[in-house]
């Protein structure tokens, strides 16, 4: 059986799905390794979770998955699709990953240090195993590439914009999937004013109309916007300068702080996992404060994005927190009751299905 592999390499997890090349309606199998760098666990549909050695990094995790996949000798890998966080200003469409594209992606590592190196390692690892394998990059930034300059520019001299200092936006694959679902399931909302909230360890919101991104909360990097599991979200740039000038922190130390030690884990001192915060909140005021802060910022940004749409007809929740935390959804809606009535929907994230479909299209073109 010819199969397509979909890989989603994150900073602390590695998710994969396998699809039949001629039928991508549902994956044949799927799994993930989570807790990379702390307590890695290999999870696979239909089998018991497997604890992996603590020293499992991204490289060993990828090798473990491929060792498992090679046990299925009936599968013939014909293509691989990758989620890639940052495509910069260069890539406005999903791309076949050739040498030139890979070189450009390496130049974007400083803009997505939590993700881009892991994507590139997975691409090059597959290339070393099967040099002629079709590999396709699906970029989180592509969905936002058509935004107007009004929503992409910072208030800096425009020469900086030309040099790439601009808002790119992320979670585009998730929002592209939501747009496709709305088009078939709720075409009236698809054509209307929609704010979608992708809430997980990474979190952002996006204003959409007619399936197009109008504005989004993340900016030049995936740190901006609402607070996240370990990322700060928007912060006064003057505060960053203060940390460097007055606190004596290096740029690298500040980057680590904003990316790994901030957000929910920084506010609570407990966890970056919303479930753990919910469990701790009854007896821990810092955990409850982190939850309240997260909800407040989500509601603020939803209202802010509604300005770019001149209103809001629907608020869509997706992502692990958005789909599963009923209390959070209710609290966000409560804070937005001052706005005219809007519908609230939950659409499960399925970035992998979108990547599989895109990869299949490129595979068909090559035949």
Transcribe 22-83 into DSSP letters. Answer: TB-SS-SEEEEEE-TTSS-EEEETTEEEEE--TT--HHHHHHHHHHHHTT-TT-EEEEEEEE
Nearest to 204 by CA among 169, 173, 176, 237: 169
Tell me the C-alpha distance between 122 and 125, whole Å. 5
Q: Please, are residues 169 and 112 in contact by the beta-carbon 8 Å criterion?
A: no
Q: Please, are residues 269 and 279 in contact by the beta-carbon 8 Å criterion?
A: no
Cβ neighbour number for residue 302 with a 10 Å cutoff: 24
E strands of 155-313, at which residues? 194-199, 203-209, 212-216
Residues 6+ positions from 192 with CB-CB distance below 8 Å:
209, 313, 314
**In sequence order, what are the beta bridge partners of 44?**
31, 47
Nearest to 122 by CA among 170, 70, 82: 82
User: Does the annotation mark 132 as catalytic?
Assistant: no
Q: Which of 49, 140, 224, 325 is catalytic?
A: 140
**In sequence order, what are the beta bridge partners of 39?**
none
CA count, 13 A, side-chain hemisphere, 341? 0
Tell me the C-alpha distance between 84 and 222, whole Å. 12
Residue positions annotated with a catalytic role: 140
């Amino acid at each position: 059986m010819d199969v397509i592999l979909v890989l989603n390499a994150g900073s602390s997890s590695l998710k994969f799905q396998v699809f039949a090349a001629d039928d991508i309606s549902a994956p044949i199998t799927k799994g993930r390794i989570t807790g990379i760098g702390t307590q890695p666990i290999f999870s696979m549909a239909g089998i018991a979770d497997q604890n992996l050695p603590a020293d499992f990094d991204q490289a060993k995790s990828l090798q473990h998955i491929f060792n498992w996949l090679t046990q299925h000798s009936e599968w013939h890998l014909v293509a691989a699709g990758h989620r890639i966080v940052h495509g910069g200003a260069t890539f406005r469409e999903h791309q076949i990953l050739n040498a030139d594209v890979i070189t450009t992606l390496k130049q974007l590592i400083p803009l997505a240090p939590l993700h881009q190196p892991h994507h590139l390692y997975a691409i090059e690892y597959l290339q070393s195993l099967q040099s002629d394998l079709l590999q396709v990059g699906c970029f989180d930034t592509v969905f936002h590439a058509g935004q107007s300059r009004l929503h992409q520019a910072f208030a800096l001299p425009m020469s900086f914009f030309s040099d790439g200092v601009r808002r790119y936006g992320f979670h585009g694959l998730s929002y592209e999937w939501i747009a496709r679902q709305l088009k078939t399931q709720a075409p009236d909302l698809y054509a209307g004013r929609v704010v979608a909230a992708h809430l997980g360890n990474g979190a952002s919101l996006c204003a959409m109309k007619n399936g197009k991104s109008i504005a989004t909360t993340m900016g030049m990097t995936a740190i901006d916007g609402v607070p996240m599991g370990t990322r700060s979200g928007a912060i006064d740039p003057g505060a960053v300068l203060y940390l460097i000038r007055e606190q004596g922190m290096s740029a690298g130390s500040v980057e680590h702080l904003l990316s790994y030690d901030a957000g929910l884990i920084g506010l609570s001192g407990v966890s970056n996992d919303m479930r753990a915060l919910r469990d701790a909140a009854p007896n821990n005021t810092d955990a409850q404060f982190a939850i309240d802060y997260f909800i407040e910022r989500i509601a603020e940004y939803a209202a802010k994005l509604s300005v770019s749409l001149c209103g809001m007809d629907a608020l869509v929740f997706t992502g692990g927190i958005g789909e599963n935390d009923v209390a959070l959804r209710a609290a966000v809606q409560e804070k937005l009751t001052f706005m005219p009535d809007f519908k609230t929907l939950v659409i499960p994230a399925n970035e992998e299905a979108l990547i599989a479909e895109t990869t299949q299209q490129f595979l068909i073109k090559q035949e």
